[in-house]
Amino acid sequence: MDKQLKHDLQVFAAEIRLQTLKIIGSRGFGHVGGSMSMADTMAVLYGEVMNVDPKNPKKEDRDWFVLSKGHGGPVMYATLGLKGYYPVEDAYQLNQPNTKFPSHTDRLQTIGVDMTTGSLGQGASEAVGAAIGKKVQGIPGTVYCAVGDGECDEGQVWEAAQCAAHYKLDNFVLFVDNNKRQLDGDVSQVMSHGKGISAKLDAFGFNVIELADGNDVEQIYDAVMAAKEVKGQPTAIILNTVKGKGAIFAESSGAHSSQPSQEQWDEAIAVSQAALDEIKNA
């Protein structure tokens, strides 16, 4: 991977983290954990990989991104704002009355959001449908979809997976945010995944790429580039991430949602700002 590109994506990921914290911090509570774990993937997708145009968000041949783990909305809003779909500060209206930035991503509310999600498992099917829709119409572009490891408790994820493999959707890439935590605790304790999500998706017919570090932009970028070369098969990229990565109060607890004190917010945002400055100057 090009060194400058890697640096740029690391900076973008740090900016996304900082803005994600500011967005959730504007309301004081929210889904910090599953937002922060996805920042690096969002940086790779919107910073380099995806064919999108913030000035023409509905252009037909765009790549799609479906955040099936819709409670990660804030990381999406930070990314789209920084990408130029709207001023990122607009998203500081998160969950306020009449907001365009609801807790879960909504395609009718927020510019740049491709599908509405929130009822877990459903985004996976919708993304598969979008990929089929592109194939049926001969429209270029890839549909990227992110599910959580907790979300993989939902049977619908697996219905969608078997459908993607059956229809040989090589224009479909599934990310699994394998952050090992769900609302009630460790995934291994609440509802474990047998031989593992990688093994399951392999059995379902996916080309599976498991990353040692799902918070490393280089590993993510290389995996997406490899996925693009695969024909006749969907690809799953298993992101071994840290829930709450970069949010000091959430990273330590692995919490699904957080409501820290104002002092803790101030501290976390300051630390995140310092992390951004450090990467910029590296």
Partner 1 sequence: MSIELIGKHEKDKRANRDGYVAAMMELMEADNKVCHVDCDLESCINTTKLAKAFPTRTINVGIAEQNGMGVAAGMAATGLTVFMHSFGCFSSRRAFDQAFLAVAYEECPVHIVGSDPGVTAAFNGGTHMPFEDCGLYMNVPNMVIVDTADYAQTYSLTKKLAACDKPSYQRLIRKGFVTVYADGSDFEIGKGYELKEGNDVAIIASGIMVDEALKANEILAAEGIAARVIDMPTWKPLDEEIILKAAAECGCIVTAENHQVATGLGSAISNLLIKNSPVPQEFIGIQNRFGQVGPQDFLQKEYNLLAEDIVAAAKKAISRK
107 makes contact with partner 1 (CB under 8 A)? yes
From candidates 43, 94, 130, 237, binder to partner 1 by CB under 8 A: 130
Task: Return the beta strands (E) in the chain as ranges.
Answer: 64-67, 143-148, 172-178, 181-182, 185-186, 207-211, 235-240
116 makes contact with partner 1 (CB under 8 A)? yes
Smallest gap from Cβ 127 to partner 1, in A, equals 6
Smallest gap from Cβ 133 to partner 1, in A, equals 3
Segment contacting partner 1 by CB under 8 A, of 28-36, 135-143, 228-236, 240-248: 135-143
* Residue 115 per-residue DSSP state: S
Which of 152, 144, 141, 26 is closest to 89 using CA atoms? 26
67 makes contact with partner 1 (CB under 8 A)? no
Smallest gap from Cβ 54 to partner 1, in A, equals 19
From candidates 5, 111, 132, 248, binder to partner 1 by CB under 8 A: 132
Q: How far apart are CA 215 and CA 37, in angstroms?
A: 7
Sequence-distant (≥ 6) Cβ neighbours of residue 192 within 8 angstroms: none
Q: How far apart are CA 32 and CA 244, in angstroms?
A: 6
Smallest gap from Cβ 157 to partner 1, in A, equals 9
Q: How many CB atoms lie within 10 A of CB 113?
A: 26
Smallest gap from Cβ 123 to partner 1, in A, equals 8
What is the sign, positive or negative, of the torsion defined by CA atoms of 68, 71, 72, 77?
Answer: positive
Toward partner 1, which CB reaches closer, 161 or 247? 161
From candidates 40, 63, 90, 114, binder to partner 1 by CB under 8 A: 114
What is the sign, positive or negative, of the torsion defined by CA atoms of 38, 24, 59, 139?
Answer: positive
Toward partner 1, which CB reaches closer, 39 or 130? 130
Q: What are the Cα distances from residue 47, in Å, to 42, 103, 104? A: 8, 23, 22
Residue 185: its H or E element: strand 185-186
Is 282 exposed, middle or buried, given 0-12, 13-18 or 19+ CB atoms closer than 10 A? exposed
56 makes contact with partner 1 (CB under 8 A)? no
Segment contacting partner 1 by CB under 8 A, of 35-43, 92-100, 131-139, 214-222: 131-139
Sequence-distant (≥ 6) Cβ neighbours of residue 271 within 8 angstroms: 248
Segment contacting partner 1 by CB under 8 A, of 118-126, 236-244, 256-264, 265-273: 118-126
Q: In 3-state terms, what secondary structure has residue 120?
A: coil
Identify any residues that bridge with 258 across adjacent strands, giving them in sequence order.
30
Tell me, residue by residue from 163 to 182, as one string, x for binding to partner 1 by CB under 8 A and - for no binding. Answer: x--xx---------------
Tell me, residue by residue from 175 to 214, as one string, x for binding to partner 1 by CB under 8 A and - for no binding. Answer: ----------------------------------------
Toward partner 1, which CB reaches closer, 160 or 255? 160
Contacts with partner 1, residue ranges (CB under 8 A): 60, 106-108, 114-116, 118-119, 121-122, 124-137, 139, 155-156, 159-160, 162-163, 166-167
